[in-house]
Structure 1
């Protein structure tokens, strides 16, 4: 009986091992199908799996091969060794329940991005959206319709605005008092300074990211904008275009009166007109490594510069970058006006008509149109 029982057990063991072998074979075939036979548009890098708790990859918005997102560390490394390149793009999309027009702006921006966007087969566009819960659901609906027609590989990552605000507030609290529209410091205002401290919040393996406003229209391939990073000087940490209105001529009026020979607030090409934050190239690794830049984030440094320039703004990160750019222009790579062709003409009718065109003129090929201050973007 012992021999018979042993025989039965041996038979069961062989059957079990055969069953496990079949399962392993099926799993291997499934992986092979995802990576070599599938026609989807999604590859994955280790960056996504190491996203902090504030982020989530939304698999509902990914192409059929999005099951790759669930693969382990080994597969991700294999993809990277094959030369997969992630391009990171960040857009804030919040409070859409209070401002329905934001949905139209998102649709317009993404439609033009998808229309002109072209990437190599080894490249992936990672779309980061900072949202609240109501805006996230609206955003998903918009993205499903628009991204299906994309000719490039992509993934979508959502970041919770409340989580990011909690991380930002201690870093930017001091500058909020100087560069916010309201009086005093509002906790929720912190998100308007996201770009200032993004290098301290995003995962370390994201070295570059482009942050965009919603009110944009692309007229060229987004890949060309990422190539502008290659033009940064060694000291550059941020790429940004000049402000195309005399905003900072007005804001720095007292400093200009006390320093009549200063270029602060004067128009290009020789002046320092300040910056517009509608399109920003953030070299996160350079921002992390720059001792000067991180010193300028300290409350005392912000206060001293604001006192020197008699500065009080209301445009968030744009004001901060414009102010430190007056003192340390070497931190910035100035984008050509064609990369952020602003349409707003508000200041032309508010005291600066005689010099307005000195700031507003742009003779370059227009690659991105910016309908700032709710200026309609012309149809093609």
Structure 2
């Protein structure tokens, strides 16, 4: 999964050089040896791939992570490394873009990186809104529903913020020290549920979030398509720069897109999937293919002399 997203990023990197940082739970030296030997890594910039092991995380940070993830379920605990990356990654890193692997880029990541320049005073994390009518309790309390698949983390500012440290400590405490949280705790979705509830009125957390433009996390999940207001919430009036296949039935489609990391065959891939059983005509999934075709796929480049 790392290989496919790196190939895609490299294919779109016209004006930038990207360094990759992977948090792993195995020996970095052994993994690097495997990377050098396996054919799937050929042609990729292994010298720009940096491996960081969870074994090197300081004890105090491991304890904070353990406490923060006490109410997470399923894969939720894994996702909760993200809010703590300022304490996990080397201090030499001052900013990072954090990406899920079920994504496809149609533009250079430099455009997303420049969103850091739009952060206001006190904003530490950039995340896009959840493009479905989930987190209704959060919104009713004045908060925002976020999607955690794409994140901009201002690591240096996060390290320096006592306010953010206090928020993490509060949400790592059983009972969340009086901070609002859904019944049962953080649950399955980890970081994005944490972020969404942190944005609720009264937590003091809303100010640390910068909302990313919807085109940099264009979500195509249809798991709530039957809910009232789904398509209104899903609307995004800008060009799709990064597609997020955040639904299990769309993963094969996303991998088919990645077979051409340049995105040049996007429309052909969309057309091929119009006959797939998971994208039957008249379904919300077929409508999502229309969204991808109309807003994500790029016209072919004009030939140059």
Q: Same fold (TM over 0.5)?
A: yes
Unaligned residue ranges in structure 1 (runs of 5+): 1-102, 183-187, 257-261, 265-271
Equivalent in the alignment of 2:166? 295
Confirm whether residue 110 of structure 1 aligns to residue 2 of structure 2.
Answer: no
Q: In the aligned structure 1, how far is the partner of 2:82 from the partner of 2:235?
A: 27
Q: In the aligned structure 1, how far is the partner of 2:178 from the partner of 2:247?
A: 25
Match of 1:157 among 47, 50, 65: 50
Contact 1:213 1:279 (C-alpha < 8 Å) held by counterparts: yes
Unaligned residue ranges in structure 2 (runs of 5+): 258-265, 267-305
Residues 247, 142 of structure 1: CA spacing in aligned structure 2 closer, same or farther, 3 A cutoff?
Answer: farther
Q: How many Å apart are 1:367 and its aligned residue?
A: 0.6
Equivalent in the alignment of 1:177? 70
Q: How many Å apart are 1:368 and its aligned residue?
A: 0.5
Contact 1:195 1:317 (C-alpha < 8 Å) held by counterparts: yes
Alignment coverage as a number of residue pairs: 244
Equivalent in the alignment of 2:186? 313
Matches within 5 A, 1:43-62: none
Residues 147, 293 of structure 1: CA spacing in aligned structure 2 closer, same or farther, 3 A cutoff?
Answer: same
SS of the equivalent of 1:278 reads strand
CA deviation profile, 1:136-182 (whole Å, cap 9, x unmatched): 4665536632426xxxx96111122444496643112233133x125
SS of the equivalent of 1:298 reads helix
Contact 1:245 1:356 (C-alpha < 8 Å) held by counterparts: yes
Residues 324, 305 of structure 1: CA spacing in aligned structure 2 closer, same or farther, 3 A cutoff?
Answer: farther
What TM-score comes out, normalization by structure 2 length? 0.70
Q: How many Å apart are 1:114 and its aligned residue?
A: 1.2
Matches within 5 A, 1:1-380: 103=1, 106-119=2-15, 124-133=17-26, 136=31, 141=38, 144-147=41-44, 155-164=48-57, 168-178=61-71, 180-182=72-74, 190-249=77-136, 252=137, 256=140, 262-264=141-143, 272=144, 274-299=145-170, 303-304=175-176, 308-311=180-183, 312-314=185-187, 315-326=189-200, 327=203, 328-349=205-226, 352=227, 354-374=228-248, 375=250, 376-377=253-254, 379=257, 380=266
Equivalent in the alignment of 1:30? none
Contact 1:130 1:159 (C-alpha < 8 Å) held by counterparts: yes
Q: In the aligned structure 1, how far is the partner of 2:214 from the partner of 2:177?
A: 27
Q: In the aligned structure 1, how far is the partner of 2:209 from the partner of 2:39?
A: 34
CA deviation profile, 1:19-49 (whole Å, cap 9, x unmatched): xxxxxxxxxxxxxxxxxxxxxxxxxxxxxxx
